[in-house]
Structure 1
Amino acid sequence: MLETRDIIDIQQLEAFCHHAVDHDDQSLFHLAFTEDARFDGRLCGGPLCVGLDEIRAFFALGKPPHPPSHHMTNCWVHEEDGRVRVKMKWICPDPRTGTMVVGDNDDWVVPTDAGWRIKERIAMIRYPGGFSGSGEG
């Protein structure tokens, strides 16, 4: 059973991850993801990245194609099927048009010796429906 401190730490991790993605380089990613993390951006027009090196390489493409900033909201931490899951909404400006794009992240987070980390993230677009850009949301 999750303790209140775990939920706070996980919500902090989720917020920090967006700062890591927006940082000038990928030097903070090890503080957000496990070494063997999976990032599935296919529902946002991006790739499936397996492992921290592939995730770093994807975000090293810069801005654009990635949005200039990532914002999170509505972070819900819960246990499901023996895993700690996070359902979180995000909003980003589309670097091509300047309009806002919104979506969801479905994360699986795990405790490590260094704190909670994201083991798997599935990013999906919620609005606009026709968006097929290459950036993560």
Structure 2
Amino acid sequence: MTADPTPAELTPAETEQIRRLLALFAHVFDNGDTDALDQVFAEHGSIELARTGARFEGLEAIRTFNRRLGEHSPDHHTLDTVLTPEPDGTVRGRSRYLAILPDGSVHNGDYLDTIVRTPAGWRIAARRSVPRYPLAAAGQ
């Protein structure tokens, strides 16, 4: 029986690049800088919102989603990120987020990310946002 391949370790520089990428999301998305979303998401990237089941596939769909939020975009804060490199070269990211809504209420949850290396650098290929409070629907 062959053991599973061990994921490669991330270098300190790669770790910093990925942490910067995850921080950049809040600055770009919250400010509605749709032109800069390609610095965060891969061209084929996606966002899935576990609470509603909404899914946005591809960079243009993410840009449209961001434009629709407009002034109602939450103010995101990304915290406590754990990065796990996979044997295929992708990196799994799990981060906590706090989101302050325009009415001042706060909710939080987890970002579950698949991060890939592209010719332009690290990018999010898939992001699943899973709320914790207010409580998510059962099983999410």
Q: Same fold (TM over 0.5)?
A: yes
Matched, 1:116 2:122: yes
Report the secondary structure of 1:5's partner residue: helix
Report the secondary structure of 1:60's partner residue: helix
TM superposition shift of 1:63? 2.4
Q: Cα 1:28–1:46, aligned 2, differ >3 Å: closer, same or farther?
A: farther
Matched, 1:126 2:111: no
Paired letter, 1:4: P
Partner of 2:62: 55
Identity of aligned residues (%): 30
Q: Normalising by structure 2, what TM-score?
A: 0.83
Name stretches of at least 5 consecutive residues in structure 1 with no aligned partner.
Answer: 132-137
Matched, 1:8 2:16: yes
Partner of 1:38: 46
CA distance in structure 1 between the aligned counterparts of 2:11 and 2:101, rounded to whole angstroms: 37
Partner of 2:33: 25
Q: Please identify, of 16-25 and 26-35, the stretch whose mean Cα deviation from structure 2 is larger.
A: 16-25
Which structure's residues are more often helix, by fraction?
Answer: 2
Paired letter, 2:35: S
CA distance in structure 2 between the aligned counterparts of 1:24 and 1:36, rounded to whole angstroms: 19
TM superposition shift of 1:130? 5.8
What CA RMSD, in Å, does the superposition of the two structures yield over aligned residues?
Answer: 1.7
Q: Please identify, of 70-79 and 43-52, the stretch whose mean Cα deviation from structure 2 is larger.
A: 43-52
Equivalent of 1:106 in 112, 117, 137? 112
Runs of 4+ in 1 over 6 A off after TM superposition: none
Aligned length, in residue pairs: 127
Report the secondary structure of 2:20's partner residue: helix
Name stretches of at least 5 consecutive residues in structure 2 with no aligned partner.
Answer: 1-7
CA distance in structure 2 between the aligned counterparts of 1:126 and 1:17, rounded to whole angstroms: 20
Matched, 1:79 2:58: no
